[in-house]
Amino acid sequence: MKRNKTGLIRICVLAAALLLIAAGIQQRQPEMVLQKAVHICLECIGIG
């Protein structure tokens, strides 16, 4: 019973993850991630 419940939660989370990724792709969010990641992040490396 407990295992079934865990399995169900697992599947729901996985489905939610895929839905969120799809929604993000639809809103072109990977491009926003790319735009940030291809430039040196001065804050991240401690410059300012």
Partner 1 sequence: MQQEKNENRQERQEKKQSRMEKIRQGMIRNKRHLIQLAAALLANANFKGFWSGTIWQGKSKSICVPGLNCYSCPGAVGACPIGSLQAQISGNQKGIPYYIAGTLLLFGAVLGRAVCGFLCLFGFIQDLLYKIKTPKITVPPKVDKVLRYLKYVILAVFVIGLPLFISDEFGIGDPWFCKYICPAGTLEGGVFLTLMNQSLRSMIGVLFTWKLFLLFLTIISSILIYRPFCKYICPLGAIYGLFNRFSFFRMEVDQSACIHCGKCEKQCKMQVPVLTNINSAECIRCGDCKRACPVGAIHLEKR
Provide the binding-site residues for partner 1, judged by CB under 8 A: 3, 6-7, 9-10, 13-14, 16-25, 27, 29-34, 36-48
Q: Give 1 or 41: the residue with its C-beta nearer to partner 1.
A: 41
In whole angstroms, the minimum distance from the beta carbon of 32 to partner 1 comes to 6
In whole angstroms, the minimum distance from the beta carbon of 25 to partner 1 comes to 7
Following DSSP, what letter does each residue of 1-48 receive, concatenated? -HHHHHHHHHHHHHHHHHHHHHHHHHTTHHHHHHHHHTS--HHHHT--
**Phi, psi angle pair for 44, to nearest 5°:** -65, -40
